[in-house]
Amino acid sequence: MKSFTNEEIARLLRQVAAAYTIQNEAKYRFQILAYQKAADSIETSATEIKDLLADNALDDLPGVGASIKNHILELFNTGAVTHFEDVLKNVSPAVFPLLDIPSFGPKKAFKLVDKFNLNDPITVVDDVYKIACEGKIASLEGFGEKSQNDIKRAIDEYKLGKTKSSRMVLAMASEISNTMLTYLRKDKNVLQAFTLGSLRRMKSTIGDVDIAVSSNNPTAVLDHFNSYPYKDRVIERGDITSSIILSGNKQVDLMVLTPEMLGSLLQHFTGSKEHNVALREYALKKGYSLSEKGIKLKDGTLKTFTSEKEFYNFLGLAWIPPELRENQGEIEAALKKTLPTLVEIDDIKGDFHIHSNYAIEPSHDLGKNTMEEMLIRAKELNYEYLGFSEHNPSIGNHTEQEIYEILLKRNKKIDQLRMSNKSVRIINLLEVDILVNGSLALSDRCMELLDMAIVSIHSSFRNPTEEMTTRILKGLSHPKAKILAHPSGRLINSRAPYEVDWKRLFAFAKENNKALEINSWPTRLDLQDILVKQARDYDIKFVINTDSHATSHMDNMPYGISVAKRGWCERKDIINTYSYDKLIDWINQ
Ligand code: DGT
Ligand code: CA
Ligand code: CA
Ligand code: ZN
């Protein structure tokens, strides 16, 4: 018997649906829907089909009709499916890689492959890109200039890792969730609505959005949910649950229960799965069995909970903040009452990573707003202080003397601002490049013009671990270098973190009193939560910064807070919760 993963099977089913669409969408519309639905269901199933087959339990697989189940059996028995081969034989295999690119449907992909005679699935994405750049797509019937540009952009994004199935960044998932909550609350049958799953736990990337509703009329609520105007299709509908797909292949799951079960519902669907499994094992030892409906006692009666706190307390545990629910020791800590008091957004008194549009002729990008505008936003956010940290002047385009003069002039500007603006204190920083050899992009006398510096890596990301670590430590050892910005360099869905010996870096930061940045930019969220938790064991300090290039970016602070919380950080761990005086002491330490 051959073996296939759920992902491989789902992929094959989608190819069959695509081939039907290309052949005759109207004629095969039921088949297309059935194959798409089966693919959705298999892809999101928690159980592997190969395990179901081993248990002779393929019938348990929801959302898959009898004929597709037979095809799956054939696939495992013989390694191929005759019917699939029949459907697929008229479509070039070069069509399918194009279907992973955002905005590419089967018909568009087929037309391009057909018209330009593209037959190599390995090179087809590059081939289409080249043809688009040569301007040959615009003249094709049904395409045009705009769609040619859209194709180029979509392939650019695809190459950055944005496939149709990639996980959402927090900002996008929050927006989807908020829009959906507003829509749901318009239905009078909805008593309360909550965001759950990984989004409530504020994980840095989100697979799908989970929403819970308390209601005395689940059917009406599910009907309302299924009529959501921006849905692409409904993929599952039961008595108390339903799932829909929005455009861009984003999934939203809804669960509806009556209010007296709200506590256990919130607990269960917040997860994580790992936390729930560990909690269930812990409860089992006390003779309790947990579910989304409540806690079943030894005598078989079901105890229900209207609040999540009561649920945890009944188990002898303190309520656990959602950000900690990853089975990383939180259950033991809740039992011993040693859970951390996590840092909150209201604890934040300033932000050190701010790029204004001050004309510094930088090595990298300049901000969009003036220093004055950034200060106004800081005041609105109730900050006590704000640090300006434009990139250092480019060393390729200036002599050291020119850079020194640029910085002298900038210091004058900052002095003036300090005179005229008494409500927010200003910290004079720069974001200074750590060059490949570990030295800083600024000379010592230039560094002396600053209160402190943020240092960071913006080149040669792929050097070996030891080289990278030595480079960072050397850059950080300058007395003015107090903060390491976006320490791993990762960009979510597009750039892997660079290789760093984290233990060595953490030990160095502790020893030399350097802070690691938690960068709040939604596609950075760097240092990552797991590493924050490890770094915290070294008793290192962190700074939560927004890396703002415009005033509106200053509102991203909550994303950084979520990373700090997931790393178990308390207020005392975060430098920018300090009062101004304490901050100055820390800078001068
Ligand atoms: P995601 O969507 O991949 O970002 O991650 P989650 O954590 O939102 O996962 P999801 O959407 O599959 O499920 C939401 C929550 O429902 C999950 O965190 C815990 C609960 N849950 C789902 N499936 C299971 C399961 O098989 N066992 C247990 N104990 N809990 C589950
Ligand atoms: Ca989810
Ligand atoms: Ca889900
Ligand atoms: Zn920056």
Predicted local confidence at residue 398, as pLDDT: 94
Predicted local confidence at residue 270, as pLDDT: 97
Which residue in the block uniquely carries the two structure tokens 């204004």? 356
Distance CA 364, CA 293 (A): 54
Predicted local confidence at residue 399, as pLDDT: 95
Of residues 229, 102, 87, 234, the one with CA closest to residue 159:
102
Q: Report residue 56's pLDDT band, with 50, 70 and 90 as the boundaries.
A: confident
Q: What angle do CA 242, 168, 502 make, to 5 degrees?
A: 130
The sheet carrying 209-214 orders its strands as 192-196, 209-214, 250-257, 241-246, 231-237
Q: How far is the CA of 412 from the centre of ligand 4 (A)?
A: 22
174 pLDDT above the threshold of 80: yes
pLDDT (tens digit, 9 = 90+) per residue, 520-577?
A: 999 999 999 999 999 999 999 999 999 999 999 999 999 999 999 999 999 999 999 9
The sheet carrying 294-296 orders its strands as 289-291, 294-296, 302-303
Distance CA 62, CA 64 (A): 6
**Relative to the alpha carbon of 486, which ligand is closest?**
4
Distance CA 179, CA 177 (A): 6
Q: Report residue 492's pLDDT band, with 50, 70 and 90 as the boundaries.
A: confident
505 pLDDT above the threshold of 80: yes
pLDDT (tens digit, 9 = 90+) per residue, 465-482?
A: 999 999 999 999 999 999
Of residues 326, 266, 270, the one with CA closest to residue 293:
266
DSSP 68-86: HHHHHHHHHHHSS-HHHHH
Average pLDDT over residues 319-348: 97
Predicted local confidence at residue 515, as pLDDT: 98
Q: How far is the CA of 208 from the centre of ligand 1 (A)?
A: 10
Distance CA 538, CA 533 (A): 9
Give the number of other CB atoms < 10 A from CB of residue 584: 15
**Relative to the alpha carbon of 272, which ligand is closest?**
1
For ligand 1, say whether the CB of 277 is within 6 Å of any of its atoms: yes
Q: Are 105 and 111 in contact (CB under 8 A)?
A: no
Q: Are 100 and 124 in contact (CB under 8 A)?
A: no
- The size of the chain, in residues, is 589
161 pLDDT above the threshold of 70: no
pTM value is 0.77
DSSP 468-524: HHHHHHHHHTSTTEEEE-STT--BTTTBPPPP--HHHHHHHHHHHT-EEEEE--TTT
Predicted local confidence at residue 163, as pLDDT: 66
Mean pLDDT of the chain: 93
Q: Report residue 487's pLDDT band, with 50, 70 and 90 as the boundaries.
A: very high
**Which two tokens mark 437?**
């050899």
Which residue in the block uniquely carries the two structure tokens 């545990």? 317
184 pLDDT above the threshold of 80: yes
With H, G, I as helix, E, B as strand and everything else as coil, classify residue 353.
Answer: strand
Q: How far is the CA of 364 from the centre of ligand 2 (A)?
A: 36
Could you tell me which residues come within 8 angstroms of residue 40 by beta carbon, excluding any fewer than 6 positions away? 10, 63, 235, 236, 245
DSSP secondary-structure letter at 117?
A: T
Of residues 96, 268, 262, the one with CA closest to residue 191:
262
For ligand 1, say whether the CB of 273 is within 6 Å of any of its atoms: yes
Average pLDDT over residues 428-444: 97
For ligand 1, say whether the CB of 269 is within 6 Å of any of its atoms: yes
Distance CA 182, CA 329 (A): 35
pLDDT (tens digit, 9 = 90+) per residue, 386-409?
A: 999 999 999 988 999 999 999 999
Which residue in the block uniquely carries the two structure tokens 């300049």? 366
**Would you tell me the crossing angle of helices 170-185 and 557-566 to the nearest 10 degrees?**
100
Which residue in the block uniquely carries the two structure tokens 């209207």? 306
14 pLDDT above the threshold of 90: yes
Where residue 197 falls (left for φ over 0; alpha for ψ -120 to 50; beta otherwise) is left
Predicted local confidence at residue 464, as pLDDT: 86
Q: What angle do CA 322, 328, 332 make, to 5 degrees?
A: 90
What percent of the chain clears pLDDT 90, i.e. is strictly above it?
A: 79
Q: Are 82 and 46 in contact (CB under 8 A)?
A: no
Q: Report residue 46's pLDDT band, with 50, 70 and 90 as the boundaries.
A: low
Q: How far is CA 196 from CA 173, 253, 272, 342, 414, in A?
A: 11, 10, 10, 19, 45
Q: How far is the CA of 490 from the centre of ligand 3 (A)?
A: 26
For ligand 1, say whether the CB of 208 is within 6 Å of any of its atoms: yes
Q: Identify the sign of the CA torsion 255, 260, 264, 270.
A: positive
78 pLDDT above the threshold of 80: yes
Q: What is the residue with the minimal CA distance to atom 23 of ligand 1?
A: 273
Q: Let me know if 150 is exposed, middle or buried by CB neighbors in 10 A (0-12, 13-18, 19+).
A: middle
Q: Are 531 and 502 in contact (CB under 8 A)?
A: yes
**Which two tokens mark 49?**
């089909």
Q: Are 194 and 200 in contact (CB under 8 A)?
A: yes
Average pLDDT over residues 346-368: 94
Ligand 1 atom closest to the CA of 271, numbered from 1: 18
**What single-letter amino acid sits at 517?**
E
Q: Are 483 and 455 in contact (CB under 8 A)?
A: yes
Predicted local confidence at residue 355, as pLDDT: 97
pLDDT (tens digit, 9 = 90+) per residue, 107-138?
A: 999 999 999 999 999 999 999 999 999 999 99
Q: What is the residue with the minimal CA distance to atom 14 of ligand 1?
A: 197
**Relative to the alpha carbon of 270, which ligand is closest?**
1
Q: Are 194 and 266 in contact (CB under 8 A)?
A: yes
Q: What is the residue with the minimal CA distance to atom 26 of ligand 1?
A: 46
Of residues 458, 352, 448, 350, the one with CA closest to residue 408:
448
Which residue in the block uniquely carries the two structure tokens 């008494």? 422
Distance CA 284, CA 281 (A): 5
Q: What angle do CA 219, 224, 226 make, to 5 degrees?
A: 95
Read off φ and ψ for residue 517, nearest 5 degrees.
-80, 140
Of residues 13, 33, 34, 40, the one with CA closest to residue 208:
40
pLDDT (tens digit, 9 = 90+) per residue, 233-286?
A: 888 899 999 999 887 778 999 999 899 999 999 999 999 999 999 999 999 999
Q: How far is the CA of 208 from the centre of ligand 3 (A)?
A: 5
pLDDT (tens digit, 9 = 90+) per residue, 278-328?
A: 999 999 999 999 999 999 999 999 999 999 999 999 999 999 999 999 999
